[in-house]
Chains A and B, each alone.
Chain A
Amino acid sequence: MEAKDYLKDIQDIKEMMSKSTQFISLSGLAGILAGIYALIGAYIVNQLISNHSSYYVTLESKTFKLILLTAVIVLVLSIVSAYILTAQKAKKQNEKVWNASSKRLLANFSIPLITGGILILLLLKNGSYGLIAPMTLIFYGLACVNASKYTFRDIKYLGITEIILGLFAVQFSGYVLVFWILGFGVCHILYGSIMYFKYERN
């Protein structure tokens, strides 16, 4: 009997199962932009450090505050671009930005990220800031791996790359800025492009 129909049934089942659990409107372009912001941010931070008068950058110094400000601006710009581009893509694909799967995606992304954020704040408070930079990479990577179940699988590989870079950054702590540039800049541009060419270019 109509084997084709049954095959179609199986395909429908598979499609509904993944569509109802995965948020597919995540924009690769947003990743590319986040990477570019990160590279610009890293350049500014590098300038700030080379203009800094003493050898150590302490928490109270103006340089540290400016570095923090740069990081916050990069973060906010990345989030805003991601939201705008994702909303646009969702509209094109007739998917709502704010639906059950995007909520699940956000919740699973936030848990490791907020944990890391709080941990970093606690470490800052106690004055031990040696491991903060690698930890941002590691927790961001964990957040990506955790969220990847609810969106494109590519995010998982981005996450694993970030975790590895973070661990290397612990070992080679003198080159933290290099790992940051690789992790938040190059990786975002790379994976963003892969996702863009895979899912959006048509």
Chain B
Amino acid sequence: MKNIIQHINKAFDHRIRLGIMSILMVNESADFNTLKELLGVTDGNLASHAKALEAEEYIAIEKQFIGKKPNTSYKATKLGKKAFQEHIEALEKLIRKS
């Protein structure tokens, strides 16, 4: 049991961070507005949770200009994908146990 709990990742223990990772697992990248629309969150909220995931190096943030508009896009890193995979597996095991 202890072993499983170890794999429950605190970084994903929030609906928005879980959402961001889920989207980035199945999409090569997603920009700020797409994430905002899908998750139904405010700018500030999304930015702070994205920053938290970036601090763990689970996602990479890329800023560029499309014309005059700044565009921020997000990508899951290899580390992030591996961590998320383990998180899902741990969740599944926990559900099966109970």
Q: Return the chain B residue nearest A8 by Cβ.
A: B15
On whether A6 and B30 interact (CB within 8 A), knowing A16-B38, A20-B22, the answer reads no
Measured CA separation A108–B34 after assembly (Å) = 20
CA distance A201 to B94 in the complex (A): 37
Are A10 and B26 in contact, with the CB atoms below 8 A?
no
Interface core residue of A7, A16, A99 (most chain B CB under 10 Å): A16
Is the pair A21, B18 in contact by a Cβ cutoff of 8 Å?
no
Residues of B close to A99: CB separation below 8 A: 34, 37
Give the tally of cross-chain contacts (CB within 8 A). Answer: 51
Number of interface residues of B (CB under 8 A): 20
Asked if A21 and B19 sit within 8 Å, CB to CB, the answer is: no
| B34 partner residues in chain A, CB cutoff 8 A | 20, 99-100
A5 CB → nearest B CB, Å:
10
Interface residue? A19 (CB, 8 A): yes
- Find the A residue at minimum CB distance from B13: A9
Q: Looking at chain A's contact residues, is the secondary structure mostly helix, strand, loop, or mixed?
A: helix
Enumerate chain B residues within 8 angstroms of A13, measured Cβ to Cβ.
18, 22, 88
Interface residue B83 (Cβ < 8 Å from any Cβ of A): no
Is A10 within 8 A of B95, CB to CB?
yes
The minimal Cβ–Cβ distance linking A38 to chain B, given in whole angstroms, is 34
In the assembled complex, B91 has its CB within 8 A of some CB on chain A = yes
Check: B27 CB closer than 8 A to any chain A CB. Answer: yes
Confirm or deny: B61 has a beta carbon within 8 angstroms of a beta carbon on chain A: no
The 9 A-B pairs of least Cβ separation, nearest first, read: A3-B98, A16-B22, A20-B23, A13-B22, A17-B26, A6-B91, A16-B19, A17-B22, A6-B94
